[in-house]
Structures are given as structure tokens and as C-alpha cells.
Amino acid sequence: MLNLIRGKLMATEKQIAANRANAKRSTGPKTLAGKLRSSRNAYRHGLTCPSPFDPLQVDAFAQALVGGKADDHRLPAAAELAQAQLDLLRIRSVRTRMMEVILQSADVQGLHQVQALDRYERYARTKRRRALQKL
């Protein structure tokens, strides 16, 4: 039950003790092996790092989108669109490779990793849609 002091709700001593006990249990991995494993969570497929595309490739793609005009004011939006499209192609390539491995090994557990790619694809599609709206 909460206490009312000076018009403010205050937690009881029992609630405070329970919160402290919960906080002690949920502080992440304690062993070195657990810390190393959890530190690698974001590096499963490399999609969280900046895209490895050559800036000249992105610029050429953007130039083609705006009709080859180097001084066009739409060039930054076209570059965003090109980057998002290249990201989508990269994500789909990773998904294809993962599916090939899963089909060859009949590993059903790998399907969860493929499903996790949906988040990256949704984000890239959102970036592409916003860049299209700017154009």
C-alpha cells in the first residue's frame, strides 16, 4: 500500500525492500563468459553497423535518380533513398544466405534469426519511404 505524505504518494518500506531485491537479481551477466556472450549480441549479422557501400556508388545511384543533374536540390533526398535501397538489398541478401544455410542443415532454430531481420528491413523501408516523400 502506498503512503500519502505532503500530498505525494510514497512507497512503503516493504515495497522499497522488494524493489531493491529485484534490482539485485536483474543486473545482467556476472561471469566473464556471460559478459562476453552478451557483448556479441548485436554482431550476429552486421546489420546494425553503418552500411559498407562505397560513397561513389551511392552518389552515382542518387545522380541517376535525379536525372544526372549534379546541382539538383533533390540530391540529398536522392542520396538517402539510394542508401535505404542499398540497405534493403543488403538485408535481403543476408536473409537469402541464412535461408540457404537453414535449408541445407534443416535447422529450425535458425528461423528465429531470420525472423529477427524483419526489424532491420522495416527500418530500411521506413527510411526509403521518408526519402521518397522528400523527393
| Count of positions (residues) in the chain | 135
pLDDT of 126: 93
pLDDT of 42: 63
Residue 1's contacts (CB-CB under 8 Å, 6 or more residues apart) are 12
Which pTM does this prediction carry?
0.61
Q: Which stretches in the chain have pLDDT values below 50?
A: 1
Domain ranges of the chain: 45-134
Coil, helix or strand for 32? helix
94, 109, 102: which is closest to 48 by C-alpha? Answer: 94
Distance CA 124, CA 111 (A): 21
68, 75, 83, 95: which is closest to 124 by C-alpha? Answer: 83
92, 52, 67, 77: which is closest to 127 by C-alpha? Answer: 77
pLDDT of 8: 64
pLDDT of 12: 85
pLDDT of 106: 76
